[in-house]
Chain A
Amino acid sequence: MSGPGEAAAGVPRTAGAERGGPATWLRRAQHLLVFLVLVLLSTTLSEYFLTLENVMNILRQVAVVGLLAIGATFVVISGGVDLSVGGVAALGSVVVALTAGWPLPLVLGLPLAIGTVMGFANGVIILRLGIQPFIVTLATGSIAEGVAFYLSDGNPIRFENAMVTGLGKGYLGPLPVPGLIFLTAIVAAGLVLSRSVYGYAVYALGGNEEAARLSGMPIIRYRVITYTLGGALGGLGGLVLAGRVGIGDPTVGAGFGLALDAVTPVLIGGTDLVGGSGTMVGTFFGVLIVGMLNNIFNLLSVTAYWQMVAKGGIILVAVYLGYRQARH
């Protein structure tokens, strides 16, 4: 029995990142607020904070997680989840280290290709088996991690490759290259998400898959594309990571840590875990906020272990707030 009378709903939420829409401004302001508070906090904690050098530093540090978060944004808005990005990134970085002497297009292209293939596999398995994405990607993620361990024999691999290291440590003017890659990627992704037909489909899938299906939308195709995109960005993240530290490190995806790191900025950015809403701009601020929190932790000499505990707490709070927003 569908509701007989109709009442106007609560706060309307538009799907795309419509510049100027009042509701999105309100929500974006939330993150802006948190962002500003954190900037204030950081400045009081260390006068070093607002220097160009430190800002660029932060940008470079968030680049890898930021790339993963871009992929996670698409996946979460479409109503899914991808816990395999950590393993994919680890595999990517190991492959880079192992093929460092190969022709450049291969060195750069292989991690991307591997990530793409893994993402595609994720999509196909999830849709074919009809099983919840979190457990499928958990499994594929550990497979990727296992392959990374196997290829590297469990140890980080040093490698020499000027181009790759340039990618990770280099600068283009004042901007660190990873930061540039991240910014380019997020702008492009943001445009795709908010303006392309594919991005529109992502919102529809997350917003009401049944309605999308009954409108003739090719559900399988778009979902597989989404997971493939997430995988590709995971591979890119691994490439940049290898470049930044000069090491192919299989342990970087250990546990669910990195996958969670990828999803946290998305959630902080206001994207609801059930899908159908959220923006790339939100993720951008989420990434910055996470980066600044890390920065503050380091300035305060908080150990990595406390950070782990904090991570768990932050996720819970972010998800809860997102849920609260969706309810009213």
Chain B
Amino acid sequence: MAPLLQARGLGKRFGGIQALEGVDFALEAGEVHALLGENGAGKSTLARILAGVHQADEGAVLFRGEPVRFGTPREALRHGISLVSQEVNLIPDLSVAANIFMGRFPVGSFLRTVDRRRMERESERLLADLGLALDPGALVRHLPFSSRQVVEIARALSWRARVLILDEPTSALSEAEIDRLCASLARLMGEGVGIVYITHRLDEVFRLADRVTVLRDGRIVRSVGTAEAGVTKDLLIQWMIGRPVDHLAVTRRPPAGRERLRIEGLTARGRFRDVSLSVSAGEIVGLTGLAGCGCTEVGLALFGAIPVDAGWLAVDGERARLAGPREAVRRGLGLVPEDRKKQGLVPRMSVGENIAMVRPERVASAGFLSRRRLRGLAQGFIERLGIRTRGPEQPVLGLSGGNQQKVVLSKWLAAEAGILILTEPTRGIDVGAKAEIHRLIAGLADQGYAILLISSELPEILRVCEVVWVMHEGRITGRFPRAAASEAGIMAAAHGEVHAA
């Protein structure tokens, strides 16, 4: 019998990057099939193609043996394929029931009004099935996050789904809620529903899933049954990492200087908890984890861009309360943010104008910018960092990703920020430019900069950092000095295995 949902030779390209290639995937009715892989391995892309959010460039999707092509998510929903993504997409000022039935409200026969009573009854039933006793008339705005996720799942189920694709459904749930979710998933399986389960929690894979598929760099590595002999967590991790580990031989660096940045017990409610680490001059400290680990938020908090609820921070030995980025800048911190286009650059402005943004007074006299000095400043960095551009006057919009990132970096070097927080510095950048930027970072450390490198790319972390901190769902789960660092160890910690340093 044909599998319930199948993908054959699926390929998808985003811009210049091949997100998926030659992917075969099969989901049987009544089974839970887990999808594993690093960030960027292609799990979410596959899920979105199956659910009609994206369209594949190559290959085919088959539902019950028949080829299908979903142009919109609603088409997939009508076929009974439902996706619950991690981003909760609810309408805060409407009731739970209204959210569940948005777009296809049950109407009364007489006046075509929304049949609220039927809607709430159905919602109550769906939620009870998922183990949540909730007032269906309550506004979503008043629900805790964990309940919102369950409401999303209830909504997916309300479409009488035959296939349920869950993208990290348990990241916000408590133990008890996870138990209830598992129970209802078991019930669904009994009804013949097929479930695709994307997760970073290896325990859940073995607890819930019948089969598991590991993706790496857009391709399928293996597909096995979880009950098969020899299938262990370590094996799965190995498949996820797979590539020959390439440790760039780094030139011996002068020993680290004085401590420049230190945090103890830093907590930002809902984002991360009890994070402690320190960065010294000349040191490159890595912070890594999987999606949702909270690493990026730590970087933002260090820069004063998001508020902190507990813990303290010291810059150059002095306790500091950073009210905002301006203060951070004053103390010598610099942040290369995660999204360079939305947070790091003003796209319409030129290379030079972006580089001067932190301390424009430096190229100005009496409040007026000296174009000549600006050009000189920019030219200096263009040469020093090897930025490929027509000149300081070119709008950054026209530069490639790698060069844009160099501009962002130059901005902080121009500001003479001695403590750099780099967030995903080589994301979306081709291999050659990546290596260049890594060399730059190492060079900066040699010059005495204190660098915190926040990245989800393991090879990058291992290549460049002396010490690696790993986070999982908001907490530190491990600290690996370079000598003791291995991809497998870090990956395990990223999946929640606490590593006793």
List A residues at the B interface (Cβ < 8 Å): 1-9, 12-16, 18, 21, 195-198, 200-201, 203-204, 207-208, 210-218, 276-277
Contacts and interface: CB of A to CB of B under 8 A. Distances in A.
Contacts of B345: 208, 211
Contact of A204 (B44, B303, B349): B349
Given A4-B16, A215-B357, 6 more contacts: A2-B427, A5-B15, A6-B15, A14-B395, A195-B368, A216-B326
Nearest to A18: B393
What are the 9 closest A-B residue pairs judged by CB atoms, nearest first? A5-B16, A5-B15, A4-B17, A216-B329, A207-B346, A6-B401, A9-B397, A12-B395, A215-B357
Nearest to A277: B348
Interface stretch (B28-36, B153-161, B252-260, B333-341): B333-341
Given A4-B17, A15-B353, A217-B357, A198 B367 contact: yes
B325 interface: yes
A7 B15 contact: yes
Contact of B346 (A8, A21, A211): A211
A10 B16 CA distance: 17
A259 B361 CA distance: 34
B369 A197 contact: yes
Contacts of B335: 214
B339 A2 contact: yes
B398 interface: yes
Contacts of A1: 44
Given A2-B341, A212-B357, A207 B398 contact: no
Contact of A6 (B361, B371, B400): B400
B411 A215 contact: yes
Contacts of A213: 305, 324-325
B344 interface: yes
Contacts of B358: 215-216
B303 A214 contact: yes
A200 B361 CA distance: 11
B344 A211 contact: yes
Interface string B360-373: 11001001110100
Interface in B299-315: 303, 305
B120 to A, nearest CB: 35
Nearest to B404: A6
Listed residue (B330, B361, B427) with the most chain A CB atoms within 10 angstroms of its CB: B427
B368 A214 contact: no
Contacts of B411: 215
Nearest to A12: B395
A8 B390 CA distance: 13
18 contacts: A4-B428, A6-B399, A6-B429, A13-B395, A15-B349, A197-B369, A203-B348, A204-B346, A204-B353, A204-B357, A207-B346, A207-B348, A212-B346, A214-B335, A214-B343, A215-B329, A216-B326, A277-B348
B229 to A, nearest CB: 37
B350 interface: yes
B387 to A, nearest CB: 14
A15 B15 CA distance: 27
B342 interface: yes
Contacts of A16: 353
A152 to B, nearest CB: 39
A196 B366 CA distance: 9
B347 interface: yes
Given A207-B346, A211-B343, A214-B343, A5 B428 contact: yes
Nearest to A3: B15
Which interface class (under 10, 10 to 19, 20 to 34, 35 or more) fits B?
35 or more
Contact of A203 (B324, B349, B399, B404): B349
B349 A4 contact: no
Contacts of B361: 197
A195 to B, nearest CB: 5
B328 interface: yes
Nearest to B342: A210
B19 interface: yes
Given A197-B360, A197-B367, A211-B344, A4 B305 contact: no
A208 B402 CA distance: 20
B410 to A, nearest CB: 12
Contacts of B86: none
Contacts of A211: 342-346, 357
Nearest to B356: A200
Given A5-B428, A6-B401, A215-B411, A200 B353 contact: yes
A210 B16 CA distance: 27
Contacts of A2: 338-341, 427-428
A195 B367 CA distance: 9
B17 A8 contact: no
Contacts of A207: 346-349
A12 B397 contact: yes
Contacts of A7: 15-16
A12 B325 contact: no
B110 interface: no
B325 A14 contact: no
B379 interface: no
A214 B305 contact: yes
Contacts of A4: 14-17, 19, 428
A215 B402 CA distance: 19
B95 interface: no
